[in-house]
């Protein structure tokens, strides 16, 4: 398995406004994206990778002159890797509202002449998918071989099959959920309150004041981080270990290693992440609920996806988007007689596991993408509905408890 090496971010400007679910529209906007591998002559080997909260278009490879700048899913995407760039043309795209290059709250608002700030329109998973579809148009791709994402990225992958089912064949949703639970929303809300009530937030127009609400961002990230890790992985990594070997009896200084780790994560995050983006992306998470338009019937929401095929993956220790949430998705697909493979991976690392290099998890995705690649190479004209295929057989490192329907 090799590395992709140096990659260059690309960008594309869209003049046509993007209508949003809120009823508002995003005026002209720019999307930053990256591609890896080569689009074949039939343009049927493209795979779109959707990002979650804290990531962007830079999925794999490194940026020139920047140490340790590997993309956020570099362990998955590359030559010979599970999502093999020798077979697939892989696309990473940064969503509007984010702070990694595409048009976001820190950019010029043509309506006011100042940065958007809190006036950036509220964007949803569905809006992002529509924006991505325009990029796919621009790249000359009529149908994606697959769309894949973890967590919030998995929500986008699912939304593709609901909004643009003819334009994608396979959907791979990892560590995702059909919507946020009240507890999930609660954690997002606490993080938002920490940001919004930071005196440096200035109602979301802090750019003009030359400050950022770093206190709020730190607390937000610390809360998020706790929900990304499992109780067990925290116990294994930090336990009750003391930073200085003995107690100092202090309420304000660090005593435990876990405190040191969380503060460090918060500090780093507050230096590069945009507070308005944090609000926008957590709201997109809160709002995603495709069943809501169908009286709570998730199967009805997936009805347009009857010719798509799915791979749903969850992790046993993920308490943010627990396996039962993935099983809700599987059930809704099965109710539609849609081809779905499901794997529950016995991994220690909680929600974060989707980003990590777990052997069983990666073997599973490798097997699935091999099937997708074989199918693409034998593919008839793309407008014919694809034939249902059997779910992939896992190899020697088979994931535990695979359920196929």
DSSP track, 217-254? HHHHHHHHHHHHS-HHHHHHHTTT-BSSSS----SSS-
Q: CA 116, CA 106: separation in Å to the nearest integer?
A: 6
- Comparing CB distances to a copy of itself, the nearer of 182 and 378 is 182
- Comparing CB distances to a copy of itself, the nearer of 20 and 139 is 20
Q: Given its phi and psi angles, is residue 151 left (phi above 0), alpha (psi -120 to 50 degrees) or beta?
A: left
328 near a copy of itself, rule: CB under 8 A = no
Among 27, 39, 40, 238, binds a copy of itself (CB under 8 A): 238
Residue with tokens 């220790």, as numbered in its chain: 317
Contact set for a copy of itself, span 7-26 (CB under 8 A): 21-24
294 near a copy of itself, rule: CB under 8 A = no
Active site residue 318: yes
DSSP track, 87-127? T-EEEEEPPTTSSSSSS-TTSB-TTTSSB-GGGSPP--HHH
Q: CA 296, CA 73: separation in Å to the nearest integer?
A: 33
Q: CA 342, CA 23: separation in Å to the nearest integer?
A: 36
Query: Number of helices (H) and strands (E), helices first, in the chain?
Result: 10, 15
Among 42, 286, 335, 370, binds a copy of itself (CB under 8 A): 286
Query: Where does this chain touch a copy of itself (CB under 8 A) — which range of 37-45, 47-55, 176-184, 310-318?
Result: 176-184
- Comparing CB distances to a copy of itself, the nearer of 24 and 299 is 24
5 near a copy of itself, rule: CB under 8 A = no
215 near a copy of itself, rule: CB under 8 A = yes
**CB of 279 vs a copy of itself, minimal distance in Å:** 4
Active site residue 202: no
Among 10, 106, 223, 363, binds a copy of itself (CB under 8 A): 223
Q: Give phi and psi for 49, each to the nearest 5.
A: -110, 120
276 near a copy of itself, rule: CB under 8 A = yes
Contact set for a copy of itself, span 191-210 (CB under 8 A): 192-194, 196-199, 203-204
279 near a copy of itself, rule: CB under 8 A = yes
Q: How far is CA 73 from the centre of its chain?
A: 10
- The token duo for 27 is 């005026």
Query: Where does this chain touch a copy of itself (CB under 8 A) — which range of 3-11, 49-57, 187-195, 370-378?
Result: 187-195
Query: Where does this chain touch a copy of itself (CB under 8 A) — which range of 42-50, 84-92, 129-137, 179-187?
Result: 179-187
Residues 6+ apart with CB under 8 A from 197: 216
Cβ atoms < 10 Å from Cβ of 57: 26
- When computed from its CA atoms, the radius of gyration of the chain, rounded to whole angstroms, is 21
Q: How many CA atoms lie within 13 A of 117 on its CB side?
A: 19
Q: CA 203, CA 60: separation in Å to the nearest integer?
A: 36
Contact set for a copy of itself, span 121-150 (CB under 8 A): 122
Residues annotated as catalytic are: 151, 318, 351
> Applying CB under 8 A, which residues contact a copy of itself?
21-24, 118, 122, 179-183, 185-187, 189-190, 192-194, 196-199, 203-204, 215, 218-219, 222-223, 226, 229, 231, 234-235, 237-240, 247, 249-252, 255-256, 258-259, 262-263, 266, 276, 279-280, 283, 286-287, 289, 292
């Amino acid at each position: 398995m090799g590395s992709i090496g140096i990659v260059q971010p690309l960008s594309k400007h869209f003049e046509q406004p993007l209508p949003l679910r809120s009823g508002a529209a995003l005026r002209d906007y720019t999307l930053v994206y990256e591609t890896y591998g080569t689009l074949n002559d039939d343009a049927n080997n493209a795979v779109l990778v959707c990002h979650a909260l804290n990531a962007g278009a830079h999925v794999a490879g490194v940026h020139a002159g920047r140490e340790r700048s590997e993309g956020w899913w570099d362990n998955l995407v590359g030559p010979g890797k599970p999502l093999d760039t020798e077979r697939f043309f892989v696309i990473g795209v940064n969503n509007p509202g984010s702070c990694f290059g595409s048009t976001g709250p820190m950019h010029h608002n043509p309506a006011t002449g100042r940065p958007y700030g809190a006036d950036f329109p509220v964007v949803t998973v569905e809006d992002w998918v529509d924006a991505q579809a325009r990029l796919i148009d621009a790249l000359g791709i009529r149908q994606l071989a697959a769309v894949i994402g973890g967590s919030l990225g998995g929500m986008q992958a699912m939304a593709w099959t609901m909004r643009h089912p003819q334009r994608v064949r396979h959907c791979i949703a990892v560590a995702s959920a059909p919507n946020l639970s009240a507890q999930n929303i609660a954690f997002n809300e606490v993080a938002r309150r920490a940001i919004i009530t930071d005196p440096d937030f200035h109602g979301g127009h802090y750019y003009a004041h030359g400050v950022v609400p770093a206190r709020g961002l730190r607390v937000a990230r610390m809360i998020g981080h706790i929900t990304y890790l499992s109780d067990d992985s925290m116990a294994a990594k930090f336990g009750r270990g003391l930073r200085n070997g003995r107690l100092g009896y202090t309420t304000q200084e660090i005593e435990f290693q876990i405190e040191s780790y969380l503060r460090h994560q918060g500090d780093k995050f507050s230096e590069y992440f945009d507070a308005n983006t944090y609000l926008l992306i957590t709201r997109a998470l809160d709002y995603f609920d495709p069943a809501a338009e169908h009286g709570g019937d998730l199967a009805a929401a997936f009805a347009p996806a009857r010719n798509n095929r799915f791979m749903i993956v969850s992790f046993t220790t993920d308490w943010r988007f627990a396996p039962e949430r993935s099983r809700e998705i599987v059930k809704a697909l099965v109710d539609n007689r849609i081809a779905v493979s499901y794997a529950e991976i016995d991994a220690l690392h909680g929600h974060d596991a989707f980003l990590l290099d777990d052997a069983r998890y990666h073997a599973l995705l490798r097997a699935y993408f091999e099937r997708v690649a074989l199918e693409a190479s034998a593919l008839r004209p793309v407008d014919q509905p694809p034939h249902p295929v059997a779910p992939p057989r896992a190899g020697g490192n088979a994931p535990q408890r695979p359920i196929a329907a």
